[in-house]
Amino acid sequence: MSQRNPSRALRVLLVLIAVTVILYYGRPFLLPLAFGGFLAMVFYPLILALRKRGIPNWGGISVAVLILMLILGLIGGTTFFQTRSLVQDWPNIRSEINKKQEQTEDYLIKNVGIVSEDRIEKVKKRIGEQSQQIQSIAASFFGSFFSSITGTLLAFVYMVIFLWEEARLFGFVCRLAPDSSDEEVTRAVRASRKVAAQYLIGRVILIGILSIFYSIGFMIFGLQYGIPIAILAAVLSIIPYIGNIIGGVFAITIALATGGSTYTMLGVLGTMVVAQILESNILTPWIMGDRVALNPLATVAGVIGFGIIWGVPGTILAVPVIGIAKTVFNAIPGLEPYGYLMGFNSRNSG
């Protein structure tokens, strides 16, 4: 027994290293493929329902593509029209942010005991360099997010292929796990599809609810550009933990740059905090149920890990991918410990 454990742990470690290397260097190919597979899982129940009503496979796939295009168009159009005024006024907002930054720098420098002009200039230069680094990181963050849009068409193509070749892919999975019965494989696949659909639909509903909640709160406390900022903050919530922090910092920064009072900034902060408490403790369990229930360790580690490997798109895919993996582990005998490690308790169901 003592000789088996080290060898098994070594095999697991080698598999993790190999998977990480493949995911990192295969990003241009695997990222659209992963999005396409995820969307195919989401829309397969619709295809199956239409097939039972006598609609051929190509017809069901066409309906799925049309629905997806309408959803993306609605979200994109709403975001564009609501954020247009914010984008147009962004140069003025950025100028105000720079002024506030300079005022803060002067205040800090004068109140930390620094007297020498030379030392003041060095500190300012250092702060300026750090500011440029932060802006560069932020630009890279949002740039990688929007550059991922170019892979949307390829993800559409993969989704169509996956839906068209569903029977062949299922047969491949059955042959890939010869020790498991067809019933076990079918149960794991069905559970994975439910997780994918439940996550995407639930996340869209949550973004809508958060957009309304943020908009009301920001407008009550007098935040300028409250509606577009509310939408951006709600969309960023798709990235667990990190997205909420970015959205909150962005909202408070805009409040500061547009001359918002302490009352406004505290109101914005309070709105974000209350919204996150409601989302974590009421909305998410109610809308998504327990199928995508991951413990904080699995969620944070997954988001950071996928973020390092695949950038911002990886942080978006992290939760559903890990949730699907947890469901598969729970459905296949011998892999339950891995599902238990990712879930909240020993009774997590796939």
DSSP, collapsed to helix, strand or coil, labels residue 40 as: helix
Q: What is the sign of the dihedral through the CA atoms of 71, 74, 78 and 79? A: positive
- Report if residue 3 sits inside a domain: no
- Report if residue 291 sits inside a domain: yes
- Report if residue 347 sits inside a domain: no
Domain count, the chain: 1
DSSP code per residue over 142-175: HHHHHHGGGGHHHHHHHHHHHHHTHHHHHHHHHH
How many whole angstroms separate alpha carbon 203 and alpha carbon 80? Answer: 20
- Report if residue 23 sits inside a domain: no
- Report if residue 348 sits inside a domain: no
CA diameter of the chain: 82
- Does 252 score more than 90 pLDDT? no
How many whole angstroms separate alpha carbon 339 and alpha carbon 350? Answer: 9
Amino acid at 205: I
The number of helices, as runs of H, and strands, as runs of E, in the chain is 14, 0
**How far does Cα 63 stand from its chain's mean position?**
26
How far, in Å, are 203, 216, 228, 232 from residue 219 at the CA level?
24, 5, 11, 15
pLDDT (mean) for 281-302 = 77
- Report if residue 9 sits inside a domain: no
Q: Show Cβ contacts of residue 236 under 8 Å, excluding neighbours closer than 6 positions.
A: 243, 244, 246, 247, 250
Let me know: does 348 contact 326? Beta carbons within 8 Å: yes
- Report if residue 5 sits inside a domain: no
- Does 217 score more than 60 pLDDT? yes
Q: Which of 30-39, 87-96, 258-267 has the highest mean pLDDT?
A: 30-39
- Report if residue 4 sits inside a domain: no
> Following CA atoms 329, 331, 335, 338 in sequence, which dihedral angle do they give, to the nearest 10 degrees?
40
pLDDT value of residue 350: 45
Domain span holding position 144: 29-342
**Pick the residue with more confidence: 269 or 3?**
269
**Pick the residue with more confidence: 6 or 226?**
226
- Does 251 score more than 90 pLDDT? no
